[in-house]
Structure 1
Amino acid sequence: DHFSLQVDPLTVKESVTVTPKTTTAATSTNSSSSSSSSSASSSSSSSTTNKRYCSKFKKEWLSNSSFSMFLRECKSDPTKALCAVCNLQFSIENSGIDDINRHSKSKKHLECLKSAESNRSQTIYETFHMTTSELNKLCAAEVTMVFHTVKHSHSYISQDCTINLSKKCFPDSSIAKNITCNRTKQYSLINWAREIACNVLAPSITNYVVLELRDVAFFSVCSYMSKLKLEFN
């Protein structure tokens, strides 16, 4: 008892806190999550940086009077345009119409344009020195002569001679002067007429007859075949 009275109990002046120790697994999990989030943010930022706008061809540019002579659309790649004068493709993905203006002012394009204008072939009107109406009359005369040859079974050589004779008989006629219908041209016109008759006129006439027969209750088809021997089963 005397000893307990002499000794005072110890007073705690300040508290001591002990932080719990973190495990290695938790630390690695936190570090991996932070690294994955940082990598995701960096990849998204990089993809946003790499993605840029590319100009594409617009068909309204073809109606522009400054480009209509040479500009053509590139069907295979919308980010390119085709120059008909230079016969090449050029990119328009950077600035669109500015790329076209830049190409039209380039040295190569101007040289090709100058060469194309100097070597420009004459039109058919300039070749024959005739107006449109006179040229139509000339074409009609040539086709009529070929039809006359086929109808009466004339030879190509005979028709060629007839053309030369008409030039001498009618020297004051511009149509007789310019008409040309030799054997090769006659053969081409006949083949052309045959193609039109088989592929254009025949289907059109057949379709017209079928449509007319749909509105008729009864109809009959007559044909004369006295020289043919038909056998009916």
Structure 2
Amino acid sequence: MDRFLIRTDGNNNACEEESVVLNENEDVPKTNRRKICSSWIADFSDWLIKKETAAGDEELFCKVCNAFLKVSSGKSDLISHKNTQKHKTRSICITNGQTTIAEQFRNNTRETRLVQTLELQLSAFIAEHNLPFSCMDHLSLFLKKSIPDSKIAQQISCARTKTTNLVKNVLGPTQFEYLCQLLRKKKFSCVSTSRSIYPTRNHCA
């Protein structure tokens, strides 16, 4: 499809933009990137800002999702992002005063770090012994009742949902990266074998 040019005129001169439609396999040239319109930031001021990237370019940034946004179709892209499930969920958490796991781990007080360490250890114990995450619904309450004089135990707030997120989003990626680093630095053995169930397939152990 040949390129064609669409010019949209608005009340604000800063909103005059040029949109170039290219083939799917064709990259958008830097000269044809959609300009950031100041009215977009005004319309979505509660979560949208301009922020400088590592390359030194100014891009639109979502404060709620903590991510840069790629805008190719204009304001419709921002509306689509606003309606995503991730953005809605995080917006509700912020409105209700809740914090994400990453934000909770930014607190540097000693007591909070001890609570976080205990929650990580309990989550690792659940994963290591292949126990159901629902165990944490009862274990956290059990520890609070069993150790009433411990400030650390009384602050545990780690049920099945938080345990699941800690294992999948914190412990899992961290241990995977640690294992990769270990395999890069130390020698290990590979054994090729075939199972009787699938005699044509080889497996490495």
**TM-score above 0.5, yes or no:** no
Which TM-score tier does this pair reach, normalised by the shorter chain?
A: 0.3 to 0.5
Q: Name the larger-Rg structure.
A: 1
Larger helix share, 1 or 2:
1
Q: TM-score, normalised by structure 1?
A: 0.36
Larger strand share, 1 or 2:
2
